[in-house]
Amino acid sequence: MDYFLELFFGGLTRGSIYALIALGYTMVYGIIQLINFAHGEIYMIGAFVALIVAGVCTIYGLSGVSILILAGIVAVIYASAYGYTLEKIAYRPLRDAPRLSPLISAIGMSIFLQNYVLLAQTPDFLPFPRLIPEFAFMEPVAYILGSPELVILVTTLVTMILLTLLIKKTKIGKAMRATQQDMNMARLVGVSVDRIISLTFVIGSALAAIGGVLVASYIGQVNFYIGFLAGVKAFTAAVLGGIGSISGAVLGGLILGWAESFAAGYISSDYEDVFTFGLLVLILILRPSGILGKSTKQKV
Amino acid sequence: MQNLKQSILVSVWFVFLTFPLMVVRVNTMDNIVVWRWESLVWVAYEAFVLSYFWRFLMQRKAVREKALAANDNLVELIKNDSLVQNNFIFVLLVLLQIVPAFFYSFVLPWSYLFGFFLLAFLLAVGIRKYQYRKGLGSFARVDEAVSDKPRLNLLENHSFRIRAQLVILTISLIFPLVVDTYQSNIMISALIYVVLGLGLNISVGLAGLLDLGYVAFFGVGAYSYALLNHHFGLGFWVTLPIGGLLGCLFGVLLGFPILRLRGDYLAIVTLGFGMIFKVVMENWDALSFGPSGIANIDKPGLFGIDMDLAGSTVYIYYIMIALVVFTIIVTNRLKNSRIGRAWIALREDEIACVAMGIDMARTKLSAYALGAFWAGMVGVLFAAKTTFINPASFTFMESAIILSIVVLGGMGSILGVILGAFILILLPEYLRAFSEYRMLVFGASMTLMMIFRPQGLISNLRQTYQYKGSKEMSDNG
């Protein structure tokens, strides 16, 4: 039972990170029907910037939690800036192009950003300082759910609640929903569509950066390649839940996290990634619109 | 003045953006921070220059699109093109790339790269000017549309094409005899990518099915030769068709579940297949010997004659040339065949294509299968050439390289793909100092190509059919 619970919480933690990244995919896809292939790289850049800030701060003698918060904030700012720039340079000029063009452009940007970090920094894994403190009250259950996991779960939960409030209650959220439903109509009623799209990229990137910082301080290492796999898995989560749907992304992330955790725990950890992609292929065959997605009619 | 202000803003923005990654380098093990301030200066300068360049290109693109939509005279437009007139500024920009040489640090190769980019562009503008003066290329096509003059485009001239093909073939046949083994080896790998590019061109360029796991088929071919050779001692020539057919089979197998998907979903699923292939090969020790791979694969034999290393390299080179020629002929025929036209129809509009009575399943599967066939065949050759394979040769990066070959060269264009493969594989080989920067350039060029030249370096010439009964019949290959 303990083993089961350990896997359960492990999957939950993992799944909530996937959900954070998947939200970026789903929000962007919902508005401009583009798979932002470079989203995983934004996540990686978030983690890397956090590492750099944390490293510099450690050397100049700051203490644990304050570093984590500072690194988190800087990472979010930078990831958002990168997301914004990415949209402006690589996707905006292709808004009216055939559908394959922005996707190829996105793949190009993904490769570019990976290699940019590789060349500007290092190809090696860098150890990420353990910044999340061990809470004393978690001691009795630490073998099932450790403090870092708890921090991840709480942070994710808070972030998601904030995001939901932003989308459901604010004027910006209303404009985002309008743009998602009908871009031209939204433009007609005075929504600045370009700004909303930029904003979507900024928010998605910020969420990815939060995920990146949490994962990096949890796993304890970072390199230029971590974004790629995380990105593909988060995309799987988004598709699983139904791409374009925000609650779907969260649900998909959690399901994927559990599936991976249990499959790795009970079957074999070597083939963990195979399970993920197997799951992706299965969903796409059986229900391409995902669990919560609406199936749309195709027109010429 | 407006331009200047904007460029300074861009420059400041990029300084901010690249600050942590380009300037700070932190070693968390030994707690050392290295500050590389010189890269800050460089980023500021480069962002300033490139933002000018970017704006020029964007303006030009906008003007052209507008003119094309309004059916204006393109020649007049290009003649008055600000870029063609302002060559001087760009020569200056290229020359100024030497400035960072004084820093002599890690920004140096980066700045030379940008210099190359600008230089290449300058060259392209120069060629266009030349074409304009001589009435060649796309100018000729516009001229013709305006004035009924016959076409002068060299690539469409039948006799020129045949002569050019003969010359290229002769050069490529003499090539291994005059250069050393090292050069032949590089050329073989470039040719391998030519075939891979042409294979991927079938599914991506012609049928519009973006395949990000193409390297898996290549791996299937390589592993089938390695395993058949290891376990049963089968020779190269027997396995060559087997590898191709196995690739084909895998193409169909993977194609079936994803028939209903399109565009971006398809890309991700094929990416997943590529990854699954690699993970399985890494972990299924009983079959593939895991990450350590399979060594001592036989080189192709020639009637039992023993050959030294140089001899067998030349031999493989000739096999490769034959394979390339075979691929070119077959893909060219396929492109203009019934199935090829079905692929293009599928690419242009799936629903309309199906409504016209084209069997979607068969068309898609055949695109996959035929694309995979070439990858399988050339995989066998790859295994025979390196005599050692392991899963590390079949990563996503390889798929990305092949894809950027197709994108850079021109989707659907055979000549373009060949050119793309040579540029992307040979340039990094000969410019050793920049070979680490190769993926960076590939990535950037994929994006830039999509924005500024989506048709690739050499755009795919649409087959035109003419009524041959008219009096003035132009020679149209």
Residues 6+ apart with CB under 8 A from B461: B155, B156, B413
Measure B150 CA to nearest chain A CA, in Å: 32
Separation of CA B415 from chain center: 11
Measure B25 CA to nearest chain A CA, in Å: 6
Residues 6+ apart with CB under 8 A from B428: B434, B435, B438
Query: Would you call B27 helix, strand, or coil by DSSP?
Result: strand
CA angle A222, A226, A228 (to 5 degrees): 160
Minimum-distance CB partner of A85 among B17, B33, B437: B17
Measure B21 CA to nearest chain A CA, in Å: 6
Which residues partner with A127 through β-bridges?
Answer: A221
CA distance B175 to A6: 63
CA distance A47 to A75: 7
Q: State the residue for tokens 């003066």.
A: B133
Cβ-based contacts of B437 with chain A (< 8 Å): 115, 119
At residue A92, does pLDDT exceed 60?
yes
DSSP string of B270-289, one letter each residue: HHHHHHHHHHHHHH-HHHH-
pLDDT confidence band for A218 (50 / 70 / 90): confident
Residues 6+ apart with CB under 8 A from B222: B243, B379, B380, B382, B383, B389, B393, B394
Contact A281 B269 (CB under 8 A): yes
The pLDDT assigned to B136 comes to 59
**Amino acid at the residue A289:** S
The pLDDT assigned to A86 comes to 93
Long-range pairs of A200-203 with CB within 8 A, sequence gap ≥ 24: A200/A27, A200/A28, A200/A31, A200/A176, A201/A28, A201/A36, A201/A83, A201/A84, A201/A86, A201/A87, A202/A80, A202/A83, A202/A84, A203/A24, A203/A27, A203/A80, A203/A163, A203/A166
Q: Give the DSSP H/E element, type plus range, for residue A298.
A: none
A230-287 residue pLDDT tens: 888 888 888 888 887 888 888 999 999 998 888 888 887 777 778 888 888 888 777 7
CA distance B292 to B393: 12
**Among B residues 273-302, those touching chain A with beta carbons less than 8 Å apart:** 273, 275-276, 279-280, 282-283
Instruction: Answer for the pair A175, A185: CB distance below 8 angstroms, yes or no.
Output: no
- Closest by CA position to B413, among listed B348, B464, B458: B458
Query: What is the torsion angle, in degrees rounded to the nearest 10, for the CA atoms of residue B39, residue B44, residue B47 and residue B48?
Result: -150
CA angle B455, B457, B459 (to 5 degrees): 45
- Closest by CA position to B229, among listed B297, B306, B316: B297
Minimum-distance CB partner of A273 among B210, B279, B442: B279
B447 touches chain A (CB under 8 A): yes
Q: How far is CA B93 from CA B2, B10, B96, in A?
A: 20, 17, 5
Measure A140 CA to nearest chain B CA, in Å: 32
**Amino acid at the residue B310:** A
CA distance A11 to A256: 8
CA distance B113 to B330: 37
CA angle A54, A59, A60 (to 5 degrees): 100
CA distance A244 to A241: 9
Which residues partner with B32 through β-bridges?
Answer: B27
Encoded tokens for B92: 């200056």
Measure B257 CA to nearest chain A CA, in Å: 6
Measure A74 CA to nearest chain B CA, in Å: 10
Q: For chain B, which residues score pLDDT lower than 70?
A: 71-108, 128-129, 131-157, 262-263, 302-306, 433, 460-477
Instruction: Answer for the pair B436, A120: CB distance below 8 angstroms, yes or no.
Output: no
CA distance B345 to B341: 6
* Backbone φ, ψ for residue B389 (5° rounding): -135, 150
User: How many residues are present in chain B?
Assistant: 477
Separation of CA A278 from chain center: 21
Encoded tokens for B316: 């493989």
Contact A239 B268 (CB under 8 A): yes
| Closest residue, chain A, to B267 (C-alpha) | A103
CA distance B396 to B402: 10
Contact B442 A129 (CB under 8 A): no
Contact A101 B450 (CB under 8 A): yes
Q: Who wins on pLDDT, A286 or A107?
A: A107
CA distance A183 to A186: 5
Which residues partner with B27 through β-bridges?
Answer: B32
CA distance A246 to A232: 17
At residue A145, does pLDDT exceed 70?
yes
Separation of CA A218 from chain center: 15
* Backbone φ, ψ for residue A270 (5° rounding): -65, -35
Cβ-based contacts of A52 with chain B (< 8 Å): 20-21, 24, 26
Minimum-distance CB partner of A107 among B32, B436, B446: B446
The pLDDT assigned to B151 comes to 46
Q: Who wins on pLDDT, B62 or A172?
A: A172
CA distance B312 to B103: 46
| Entry pTM | 0.87
Cβ-based contacts of B439 with chain A (< 8 Å): 111, 114-115
Which residues partner with B33 through β-bridges?
Answer: B26
Mean pLDDT (chain A) is 86
pLDDT confidence band for A138 (50 / 70 / 90): low
Interface probe for B, chosen from A95, A96, A112 (most Cβ of B below 10 Å), is A112
